[in-house]
A and B are shown apart, each in its own frame.
Chain A
Amino acid sequence: DIQLTQSPSSLSASVGDRVTITCRASQPITNFLSWFQQKPGNAPKLLIYAASYLQSGVPSRFSGSGSGTDFTLTIGSLQPEDFATYYCQQTNTPPRTFGQGTKVDFK
């Protein structure tokens, strides 16, 4: 199975901060990487697909980059509603594994 390692596992930030989360794959996955946001008590929500494409309706402060094994999710200016847990998922090779998650909370 392809392992996805997210870093950091958690981070504390303030409104307005620029936040970067990384996801490293154990083998190349071209650009078949998605990012999800999950808030407590809610289902995950798709933010980014194919590494860098913004899902419809997602604010432009979210962006994704990377290819091969190293990927990044960036939140340009953190808003109060962005405090959540973020997951990456590879869709290149079955089983389509998830990263372990990164929790973003208030500093």
Chain B
Amino acid sequence: EVQLVQSGAEVKKPGESLKIACEGSGYNFSTDWIGWVRQMPGKGLELMGAIYPGDSDTTYSPSFQGQVSISADKSISTAYLQWSSLRASDTAIYYCARQNGYVADSFDIWGQGTMVTVSS
């Protein structure tokens, strides 16, 4: 079964750092882009950026450039989303999703989401 499994919920204080993970299985993790999508409470979907695990080529949406860092370790089929200094406004659910060329580069497989709460 093709799936993405994300790390568990996090509760952090403003200014703390955080790295969340997304592990793929059931397919060749190296050959499909992985995107990260933010959903703030009660709001819509926002694409933050994406990474090609095969060579770690990374793109960021302008709103998120410099705010987060996306990385991957293809040897363990895992992508990461990282913050160096969290803010209360980073409170959201974060999804990873596979971008599949066979379905016109759509996100066909999604992780279950990681809830990040930032509060003092």
Contact = CB atoms under 8 A, between A and B. Distances in A.
Contacts of B108: 46, 49, 55
Q: Chain A contact residues (Cβ within 8 angstroms of B): what range?
A: 20 to 34
Interface in B12-58: 35, 37, 44-47
Main secondary structure of the interface of A (DSSP, over half): loop
A31 B108 CA distance: 17
Contact of B113 (A43, A89, A95): A43
A53 B95 contact: no
Interface size class of B (residues with CB under 8 A): 20 to 34
Interface stretch (B73-81, B82-90, B98-106): B98-106
Given A36-B45, A44-B97, A49-B104, 17 more contacts: A32-B104, A34-B104, A43-B111, A43-B113, A44-B45, A44-B107, A44-B110, A46-B106, A50-B106, A53-B103, A53-B104, A87-B44, A89-B107, A91-B106, A94-B61, A98-B44, A101-B44
Interface of A: 1, 31-32, 34, 36, 38, 43-46, 49-50, 53, 55, 87, 89, 91, 94-101
